[in-house]
Amino acid sequence: MSKVIEFPSASVRNDVEIERGFREGLAGHGFSEDAVEAALKVVMPLMLEAKKATAKDLGFSLNTSMSGAEMKDLQEKLSSVLKSYQAEISEFVQRLIVKIAILEASANSV
């Protein structure tokens, strides 16, 4: 049966926790410290870039005759849809990065 790399939840996604999760997960798969370090050199910059890319706000001007209440409702709906989309993309990218970490560790195993 395959082991699962535990990934920090959204509430603890700071860099230290992410790195620790990778270290523990890769070590749990039996990778050497050198292989883990090689994988971290590749995946940590990817994680930082992914966090920045998926955390962006979307802002735009809209010329409309909608009332203030209608605009607020539209803004709330768009915000909700965007947050949901960002969460889905973020989770997908994180799964890819975990796979990259495993591949990098495997490539650097002695």
Report residue 72 as tokens: 């607020």
93 in any annotated domain: yes
**Domain range for residue 32?**
13-56+66-107
Query: Looking at residue 8, what is its pLDDT?
Result: 54
The answer to whether the pTM exceeds 0.85 is no
Whether the per-residue pLDDT at 69 is higher than 60: the answer is yes
Report residue 99 as tokens: 């796979």
89 in any annotated domain: yes
Cα distance between residue 37 and residue 88, in whole Å? 28
Residues 6+ apart with CB under 8 A from 78: 58
CA terminus-to-terminus distance, the chain: 23
Percent of the chain with pLDDT over 90: 42
Domain count, the chain: 1
61 in any annotated domain: no
Report residue 4 as tokens: 């699962």
